[in-house]
Amino acid sequence: MQADKEDEEDVCPEEFVTLCDFTGSGSEQLSFSSGDKLLVHAKPTSEWWWAELRGVAGYVPASYLRPDGAEEEEEEEEDEDEEDTSLLDPWQDEEYFGSYGTLKLHLEMLSDKSRTEAYRQVIRSNSASLTNKVVMDLGCGTGIISLFCAQLAQPSVVYAVEASSMAEYTRQLVKQNGCEEVVTVFQGRAEEIELPDQVDVLVSEWMGNCLLFEFMVESVLLARDRWLRDGGVIWPSSAALTLVPCQADSYYREKMGFWERPYGLDFTPLQPLAHQEFFTKPKFSHLIEHNDCLTAPCDVICLNMYTLQVKDLEEIKGQFHFCVEKPGVFHGFTAWFTVFFESLEAGGATVELNTGPNSEPTHWKQTLFMLDRPVRVCAGDLIGGTILLRRNPVWRRHMTVTLHWNINCSTEETDHSQVGTKTFPMWR
């Protein structure tokens, strides 16, 4: 990588000091360690600058730098700035693992019968093959999956790995349920802990909204590469993201229609604000009604957990071709995921956990992406396009979802915006 980039206007280079480590992703980003002195050549945007370190140049996140020579006032403010460095953690681990140190999220996940029973079914239907196996439960939380393993099968050992302070309680639950002979709890990040042995089975419940949000999947892939022995099994074994063009009439009326005539008054000047506030980001925990689907759903992304690589997570693209089955209003797209657990026995039945509208609801429910403008469609209209999940290069648990679509109407009289595109932050 050359130290200067012809198409960036060069400013006189300024020296900056880095506040923490940064691992660049892709060839364009420059990695550095905390305390490095960088030479900033250009500031093309407020977020990304073009800088050089020891003759190598690349983009760096501006928020990770402070002007060199500013350290004296920095020392004076050291105390109140102390907590700021935690804001610079691209993984936001303090906040993330802090949230899992309380019961709220564990109660939500454990109360999700579809989710929890699916994992119990996986253990139960593979109990014979789990005999004498070494199992790793990555991100075990309260240890529910590990306890199922110890209760319903005879593995030789289960390594229950949990980074949050919940691990202390997980140890108590293991003891309380008489599983301490089989289950060993390791408190720490899966990326950092040392296990006594390779594992035969790597099981984890890592899926976030829209499948990938939180990107815990990266930890699972790293653990697979480091701890899963050759021929070992990873659960889930594969995952699919499903999309469907849909109506969302009640949501649209609730958030946008409301301003037409509240109490006989015209509040429509607030509609642009409502659009910005309610339709710019995806709507999590959306419950799509079956008859809101304008077409049959389509799997747009399929992930094989044996071959998926961390670098593949930067950008994942899918395509779709829908044929509208009934007239209606195309308000947006709804997405959900399904994960599959292959049997340990050759030819055994695959267990699946489907979070879509035709299955028992889960705590994820579905995710709704609202278009800027609803479009009336007729049966026979074709909605084709692409979906792009692009991981945030700085905030590593976040991504954007970009949808491109075009509508080929089967008849002429209906009004149509033929082509559309929209990018949704999740959440950065």
Ligand X SMILES: N=C(N)NC/C=C/[C@H]1O[C@@H](n2cnc3c(N)ncnc32)[C@H](O)[C@@H]1O
Cβ at position 142, least distance to ligand X in Å: 8
Nearer CB in complex with ligand X: 141/332: 141
State how far Cα 104 lies from the chain centre: 19
State how far Cα 102 lies from the chain centre: 21
CB atoms within 10 A of CB 379: 14
Site for ligand X in 211-230 (CB under 6 A): 214, 216, 219
| Residue among 100, 320, 341, 424 that touches ligand X (CB under 6 A) | 100
Nearer CB in complex with ligand X: 190/240: 190
* Position 163 contacts ligand X (CB under 6 A): yes
Q: Return the residue nearest ligand X (CB atom).
A: 139
Pairing of strands 419-426, 399-408: antiparallel
3 state DSSP class of 290: helix
Cβ at position 100, least distance to ligand X in Å: 3
* Position 91 contacts ligand X (CB under 6 A): no
Cβ at position 274, least distance to ligand X in Å: 30
Helical spans, DSSP H, in 36-165:
71-76, 78-82, 84-87, 93-99, 103-111, 113-125, 144-152
Cβ at position 372, least distance to ligand X in Å: 30
Helical spans, DSSP H, in 177-235:
217-227
Nearer CB in complex with ligand X: 135/207: 207
Catalytic machinery residues: 205, 214
* Residue of 74, 81, 90, 71 whose CA lies nearest to 31: 90
Amino acid present at 129: S
CA distance 146 to 183: 7
Cβ at position 228, least distance to ligand X in Å: 15
Pairing of strands 134-138, 157-162: parallel
Cβ at position 193, least distance to ligand X in Å: 8
Half-sphere exposure of 178 (CA within 13 A, CB side): 2
* Residue of 70, 9, 64, 69 whose CA lies nearest to 33: 64
Pattern 108-147, ligand X, x by CB under 6 A: -------------------------------x-x------
3 state DSSP class of 99: helix
Q: How many residues bind ligand X (CB under 6 A)?
A: 19
Amino acid present at 207: M
Torsion sign across C-alpha atoms 116, 117, 121, 124 = positive
Nearer CB in complex with ligand X: 209/295: 209
Nearer CB in complex with ligand X: 24/208: 208
Site for ligand X in 351-410 (CB under 6 A): none
User: Is the backbone peptide bond immediately before 327 cis, with ω within 30 degrees of 0?
Assistant: no
* Position 161 contacts ligand X (CB under 6 A): yes
Pattern 172-211, ligand X, x by CB under 6 A: -----------------xxx-------------xxxx---
Nearer CB in complex with ligand X: 189/331: 189
CA distance 187 to 387: 37
Nearer CB in complex with ligand X: 57/149: 149
Pattern 23-62, ligand X, x by CB under 6 A: ----------------------------------------
Q: Which residue has the tokens 């389509």?
A: 298
Q: Which residue has the tokens 């029973």?
A: 117
Cβ at position 206, least distance to ligand X in Å: 6
> What is the signed CA dihedral for 129, 130, 134, 137, rounded to 10 degrees?
130
Q: Which of 61-69, 160-168, 262-270, 275-283 is the region at the interface with ligand X (rule: CB under 6 A)?
A: 160-168
| Interacting residues with ligand X (CB under 6 A) | 97, 100, 139, 141, 161-164, 166, 189-191, 205-208, 214, 216, 219
